[in-house]
Amino acid sequence: SELITVPGLINLDFADVRSIMSMGGAALMAVGHGSGDDRARVAAEQALASPLLDVTIDGARGILFNVTGGPDMSLYEINQAAQIIRETAHPDVNLIFGAVIDETMGSNLRITVIATGFDQSVPLRHMTRPVATQRPAPMRQEEPVEVSRDSGPVRDNAPATPKRDDARAKFRPDDLEIPAFLRRKQ
Question: What ranges do the domains of the chain cover?
Answer: 2-116
Tell me, what's the pLDDT at 77? 92
Residue 48 backbone zone (phi > 0: left; psi -120 to 50: alpha; other: beta): alpha
Mean pLDDT of the chain: 76
Q: Which residues contact 62 (CB under 8 A, 6 or more apart)?
A: 19, 20, 21, 23, 93, 94, 115, 116, 117
* DSSP 3-state of 2: helix
Percent of the chain clearing pLDDT 70 (strictly above):
66
Tell me, what's the pLDDT at 132? 43
- Pick the residue with more confidence: 117 or 150? 117
Note the pLDDT tens digit of each residue in 104-115.
988 999 999 988
- Pick the residue with more confidence: 185 or 68? 68
Determine contact, residues 32/50, Cβ cutoff 8 Å: yes
Measured distance CA(119)–CA(95) in Å, rounded: 16
Note the pLDDT tens digit of each residue in 29-88.
889 999 988 999 999 998 888 666 666 778 888 999 999 999 999 999 999 999 999 998
Tell me, what's the pLDDT at 129? 41
Measured distance CA(64)–CA(114) in Å, rounded: 5
Domain covering 2-116 assigned CATH 3.30.1330.20 in the classification: yes
- The beta strands (E) that lie in the chain are given as 28-35, 62-69, 94-101, 108-116
Answer yes or no: pTM beyond 0.85.
no
Tell me, what's the pLDDT at 127? 40
Neighbours of 97 (CB within 10 A): 19
* DSSP 3-state of 182: helix
